[in-house]
Amino acid sequence: MECGMRGQLEERESKIMSPNQSTAEVSHLAVDIGGSLIKVVYSSSNNNNEADDKGKKSSNDCVGIPNGSSDYPVLCGRLHFAKFETSKINDCLEFISSKQLHQCADWHHEASSHDKNIIKATGGGAYKFADLFKEKLGVSLDKVDEMDCLVAGSNFLLKTVHPEAFTYIDGREEYVQIDHNDLYPYLLVNIGSGVSMIKVDGDGKFERVSGTSVGGGTFWGLGKLLTKCKSFDELLELSQKGNNRVIDMLVGDIYGGVDCPKIGLSSTAIASSFGKAISENKELEDYRPEDISRSLLRLISNNIGQISYLNALRFGLNRIFFGGFFIRGHAYTMDTISVAVHFWSKGEAKAMFLRHEGFLGALGAFTSFESHGLNDITTH
C-alpha cells in the first residue's frame, strides 16, 4: 500500500453515517491545538463528502449521529475530522477559510445566533494562536479546559460510537462491546507530544494521576535529529522496514543467547534500548535510519505501556484505553503497547485502543457547544 500510514488510518476509521439529512450546511467547528498537531472536528447535516479534504491534510473520516438528539442539537448530522501540523498552522487556517467552516449555520436553536463567530478550542495553542485566528478568520476562540475535553471526548466515543474500542493481539483487531453501565472507572492514556494518564470516574469526574514527557514529541524530535525524516508519518513508514535488534541490546546478548527463566526474561527481551551502540565502534551514519526509527518507536511504546499498567495497578483499574495521535493505527506501536501491558500484568490486563484516538480533545471541545449529557444519543 503506497499511502502507508494514511491508508491504514482511513481503513481503520470506517465511516458511520447518519440517515435522512437533506442539506449540506456546516454547523459547528472545534479545534485542539497541540504542540505537534492541530486536530479539527466539524459537523455538516448531510452525507456529502465534499467538505472533506482528500489530500494530505485530512483523515477523511466521519461519524454520524442518527436522528440527532433533542437534548443535544449540535450533534445532528455528520462529524468530519482533519489534522494539520501545528508548525503549518496557516494550512489549517486556509482549510477552514476555503471550506467556510467558521461560518456556522443556524440550527434554529436559541443559542445558535451568538455562536456564529466562535470556535471552541482546547490545547495550549488555543491561547498561543488566539490572535492569529481573530486576524485571519475574524473568529474568537472559546477556550475549553484540555483535560475536560479529553475525558468528554473519550466518554462520548465509548458511549455513542460502536464499534470504537478494540484490542490488538497477534496482529488482529478485536472490537470490544462496552457496557455503558459498567464503564467507570477506567484509565485514559492520551499520547500526544507528551503523555497524560487520567483516572476517569464518570462524566466530568476525573483526575490526572500521572504522565510522562517521553511521548510522541520525543519520537518525532529524536527521530528527526537521528534520521533526518521530515514528518512523523515518514518516521513511522521508516520504522516498518527496520530491525531494532541491530541497535537494542537483548538479554541473549548478555547471557550468551539463553533465556533467564529465574527472572522471567527470554533471550529476545530487550535489556537495554540502543544498548549495542555502546560497544560497537560505529558512528551515527553507520546505522540504518530504518533500524534507528524502529528501536526508538519500540523504546517509547514499551515505556508508555509499562507506566500505564503500573498506574492502572496503583488504582485497581481493569480498563486501560489508549488515545492520541502517537498511535496512528500503527500495527507495531499497538502491538508493542499491548505486549508491554500483557507482560507487566502477567496476562491479567489488556490494552484497548480507540478508532478516533487522536481526536479526543477536539471532540470534547465540540460537544461543549451544549452542556447536556450524552446518554440519549444512539448510533446504528
pLDDT, greater one: 180 or 341: 341
As a CATH number, domain 5-150+359-367 is: 3.30.420.40
Banded pLDDT at 56 (limits 50, 70, 90): very low
- What is the domain partition of the chain in residue ranges? 5-150+359-367, 216-247+287-354
Least confident of 10-14, 121-125, 259-263: 10-14
Residue 337 binned pLDDT confidence (cut-offs 50, 70, 90): very high
pTM assigned to the model: 0.81
Indicate the residue type of 7.
Answer: G
Contacts of 79 (CB under 8 A, 6+ apart): 41, 42, 43, 62, 63, 64, 65, 363, 366
**Half-sphere exposure (CA, 13 Å, Cβ side) for 136?**
18
Measured distance CA(249)–CA(239) in Å, rounded: 18
Give the domain 216-247+287-354 fold.
Answer: Nucleotidyltransferase; domain 5 (3.30.420)
Residue 44 pLDDT level (bands cut at 50, 70, 90):
confident
Intrachain domains 5-150+359-367 and 216-247+287-354 with the same fold: yes
Contacts of 105 (CB under 8 A, 6+ apart): 25, 26, 27, 45
Cα 206 to Cα 215: distance, rounded to the nearest angstrom? 21
Of 334 and 102, the one with more pLDDT: 334
pLDDT in tens, 107-140: 334 444 444 588 999 999 999 999 999 999 999 9
Percent of the chain with pLDDT over 90: 61
Lowest mean pLDDT among 36-40, 68-72, 91-95, 309-313: 68-72
Average pLDDT value over all residues in the chain: 81
The DSSP 8-state label assigned to residue 288 in this structure reads -
How confident is residue 366, by pLDDT bands cut at 50, 70 and 90? very high
Apex 213 CA angle, 210 and 215, nearest 5: 105
Is the pLDDT at 13 greater than 80? The verdict is no
Q: Which candidate, 294, 238, 331, places its Cα nearest to that of 12? A: 331
**With 80 as the cut, is the pLDDT of residue 33 above it?**
yes
Predicted confidence at residue 21, as pLDDT, reads: 36
Phi, psi of 131 (to 5 degrees): -65, -35
pLDDT (0 to 100) of residue 265: 81
Max mean pLDDT among 162-171, 254-263, 288-297, 323-332 falls in 288-297
Of 210, 163, 172, which is closest to residue 188 (Cα–Cα)? 210
CB 219 within 8 A of CB 300: yes
Q: Can you give the pLDDT at residue 254?
A: 84
DSSP class per residue in 181-247: GG--SEEEEEESSSEEEEEEEETTEEEEEEEES-SHHHHHHHHHHHH--SSHHHHHHHHTT--GGGT
**Euclidean distance between CA atoms 34 and 323, whole angstroms:** 14
How many Cα neighbours within 13 Å face the side chain of 275? 14
Contact 332, 200 (CB under 8 A): no
pLDDT > 80? residue 7? no
Checking if the pLDDT of 76 tops 70, the result is no
Give the integer Cα–Cα distance in Å for 260 and 33. Answer: 46
Q: Diameter of the chain by CA atoms?
A: 73
Q: Residues, the chain, total?
A: 380
Q: What is the pLDDT of residues 273-299, one digit of tens each?
A: 999 999 888 999 999 999 999 999 999
DSSP string, 297-361: HHHHHHHHHHHHHHHHHHHT---EEEESTTTTT-HHHHHHHHHHHHHHHTTS--EEEETTGGGHH
Contact call for residues 111 and 142 (beta carbons, < 8 A): no
Taking each helix axis from N to C end, the angle separating 289-315 and 232-239, rounded to the nearest 10 degrees, works out to: 100
